[in-house]
Amino acid sequence: MAPVAVLVGPPGAGKTTIGEAVAGALGVGFADTDTIIEQRAGKPIPDIFVEDGEPAFRALERAVVAETLSSYDGVLSLGGGAIMDESTRKLLLGHTVVFLSVELADAIKRVGLGAGRPLLAMNPRATMKFLLEQRRPLYTEVATHTVITDGREPAEIAVEVTALLGA
Ligand SMILES: Nc1ncnc2c1ncn2[C@@H]1O[C@H](COP(=O)(O)OP(=O)(O)O)[C@@H](O)[C@H]1O
Ligand SMILES: O=C(O)C1=C[C@@H](OP(=O)(O)O)[C@@H](O)[C@H](O)C1
Ligand SMILES: [Mg+2]
């Protein structure tokens, strides 16, 4: 069993929003690893970062991604930093992976002051700029498809992603 598609990209790319819409269009389930992590931890992501630390979040994330990649058959959205882990990147090989790309201006507009995203809690613009530069090669490495989202409405992006999945 494997997800119909795995969505990756930086915070604000629209992985959660587009993933839900694509799953709806395909008539399949939708899962977001961040939601599963919150359920497992019994608390929201910012609380995990504050109380347990980022390494604890990343360990939980690695386990949840590995599990869902082998057992989930709907559309799966990952958290933006999941691809930082080398073992996760290896596990993505052979999957249909859609990189939703977004540049700094739109990413910042979409995440605002970073509420709910602990990495962006301080200096959201500078942090986002750094994350985009650091991670772009990794998103590209794991992607089988890339969809540009800047200046586009979610509905239009979802139609493009659904079409490239052959549906
Ligand atoms: N193409 C888009 N245009 C404008 N706003 C968007 C777009 N995609 C997502 N958003 C908005 O940006 C915010 C972040 O989207 P989300 O799906 O949570 O992104 P991600 O899961 O990649 O971090 C949400 O408020 C969402 O409604
Ligand atoms: O970029 C990151 O490292 C993170 C992105 C978040 O998910 P989104 O990309 O859905 O915002 C969430 O997993 C966590 O706050 C860490
Ligand atoms: Mg998300």
d(CA 34, CA 36): 5
Ligand 2 atom with least separation from CA of 13? 9
Per the structure, the count of domains in the chain is: 1
Ligand 2 atom with least separation from CA of 118? 15
Report which of 51, 42, 55, 13 is spatially closest to residue 147, judged by C-alpha positions. Answer: 13
pLDDT digits (tens, 9 = 90+) for 3-22: 999 999 999 999 999 999 99
Q: pTM higher than 0.90, yes or no?
A: yes
Question: Domain range spanning residue 37?
Answer: 5-164
pLDDT digits (tens, 9 = 90+) for 132-166: 999 999 999 999 999 999 999 999 999 999 999 98
110 belongs to an annotated ligand binding site? no
Token code pair at residue 113: 């002051």
Q: Ligand 3 mean position to 1 CA, how many Å?
A: 23
Token code pair at residue 53: 């630390």
d(CA 146, CA 9): 10
Of 8, 15, 117, the one to substitute when testing ligand 2's pocket (max ligand atoms within 8 A of C-beta) is 117
- The alpha-helical segments, DSSP class H, found in the chain are 15-26, 33-41, 45-52, 54-71, 86-92, 104-111, 124-142, 154-164
Q: In Å, what is the CA distance from 84 to each residue of 48, 69, 74, 106, 162?
A: 18, 16, 23, 22, 26
Q: Ligand 1 mean position to 165 CA, how many Å?
A: 21
Q: At 51, which CATH number?
A: 3.40.50.300
Report which of 60, 54, 32 is spatially closest to residue 121, judged by C-alpha positions. Answer: 54
